[in-house]
Amino acid sequence: MMQATSNTPSPLEQMRRKHRVGVSRTSTRAGKTSRQLSHEDERLLNQILAKEQDFIDSEVFYEDDAEQNIYEDAPDIALPDTSWYHPVMDDISSISRTRTVKSSQQVILTGAEERVLFHQFNYSRYRVYKLQQEVWARPDKRPTAEQADHLLQWHRKAERIREQIAETNLALVLAMAKRTRMSEVDFADLVSEGNMALLRAVDKFDAGRGFKFSTYACRAILKAFSRQGMKLSKYRQRFPTDFDPKLEKSDFLETKRADFEKDTASEVREIVMSNRADLSDVEKTVLEHRFGLESGGHEKPMTLEQVGQIIGVTKERVRQIQNKAMEKIRVELEANFLGTNEREAEAVGAK
C-alpha cells in the first residue's frame, strides 16, 4: 500500500517563507492586485530591502526636475570596450605585465562626463533609498507592486551605471598592478584585489568635490595592494613552512641568458682587440672608451661627449663612428656564425 505524500513544507522551506519579502496584495491602484514576482526578482528585492541603500548626496537630487536634468538632458557617453581585458586575464603571466592597452580601445572620460555618470549613479541609489523608507513605513513592511517595480528598476539602473564606470577604468587596475613590486603575491590575485578596490571606489567617490575619479581610484587600488601584501605576510609568519626546493621558481632561463650575454660580450671584445673586423684606429678608440673594453669592463664607460673631447669631434660624430664600427662587428659575427655552421654541416655530411 503506497503512503500518500504530505504537502507540509520542510522546516527549512518554512524558515525561507517566513523571511521572504513579498509584495502587498493590495496595490496603490484600487481594485487591482499585484503581479507575481519571478524567483530572480524576489531574490533581488529581498537583497535590496535587507540593507539600507548608501549613496553620495547632492543638492541637484532635490530639484523639481532633477530626473529630467540628470538623465534626459545629459549628453550621451560612449560605452567602454573591454574586449582587450579578457585576453590579458586569460594569460596572467610575466608576459601580461608588459602588455599595454591601445588608445583606440580606451574611453577617456572628461571631468564633465564623469560628473554626469556619478550623478546618475548616485541619483539611482537615492531613489532606491527613498523607496526603502516608504516600504519600511508601511504596517506590513511589504512593498506594493508599483514600489517593487520601481525598486527593481532603479537598482538595476544603478548597477548598470556602476558597471559602466568600472569597465571604463579597468586599465587603472593593470597599470597599478604593473607598478607594484610584490613578488610574493600572484599577479592574478593582485588584479582581482584591484578590481574589488575599483568597485568600492566607485561607490565612495564624490564627484561634487571637483577631482578626477582616476586620482581617487589609483590611491584606493594601491592601498588595497598594500593590505593584500600585509595580509599575506602575517599569514606566512603565523604559518611558517620549511624550505622546499620543488616550490621555488627556477632561474634556468635567467642564468642561461646571462651566460649567453657574457659569452657574446667576450666574443665582441676579442673581435675589437684583435681587430678582426678591420676597424680604423678612430673606431677602435671610440669602442674601447665607450664600452670600457681596454680595462676589461672594470672602468665606467664614457659618454659620447667625453669620447668626443678625447678625439676632438662632436658627440654626434662619435655616435656615427660608433654605429659604423658596430655594423662592422655585426657583419664579422654573422660571418663567423655562418662559417661555423657550414663547417659543422660538412663534417656531418662526411660522416
pLDDT digits (tens, 9 = 90+) for 124-169: 999 999 999 999 999 988 899 899 999 999 999 999 999 999 999 9
Residues 295 and 222 in one domain: no
Evaluated on CA atoms 41, 47, 50, 56, the torsion sign reads negative
pLDDT of 115 over the 60 cut:
yes
pLDDT of 109 over the 80 cut:
yes
Q: Which of 210, 238, 266 is the last residue of a domain?
A: 238
How many domains are contained in the chain?
2
Residues 286 and 173 in one domain: no
Distance (Å, rounded) from C-alpha 81 to C-alpha 310? 56
pLDDT digits (tens, 9 = 90+) for 198-242: 999 999 999 888 889 999 999 999 999 888 888 777 766 666 666
Residues 99 and 233 in one domain: yes
Residues 60 and 143 in one domain: yes
| Residue 165: inside a domain | yes
| Residue 225: inside a domain | yes
Q: Which of 154, 151, 122, 152 is nearest to 134 (CA)?
A: 151
Quote the domain boundaries for residue 147. Answer: 35-238
When comparing pLDDT for 337 and 220, which is higher?
A: 220
Residues 73 and 191 in one domain: yes
Q: Which of 206, 238, 270 is the last residue of a domain?
A: 238
| pTM, entire model | 0.58
When comparing pLDDT for 344 and 203, which is higher?
A: 203
Amino acid at 189: D
Location of C-alpha cell 524567483: 39
Q: Which of 195, 212, 238 is the last residue of a domain?
A: 238
| Residue 284: inside a domain | yes
Residues 98 and 59 in one domain: yes
Residues 230 and 313 in one domain: no
Residues 205 and 268 in one domain: no
Residues 175 and 47 in one domain: yes
Any idea what the CATH number is for the domain that residue 291 is in?
1.10.10.10
| Residue 20: inside a domain | no
pLDDT digits (tens, 9 = 90+) for 290-303: 877 766 655 678 88
Query: Per the structure block, which three cell numbers stand in for 303?
Result: 659618454
Any idea what the CATH number is for the domain that residue 112 is in?
1.20.120
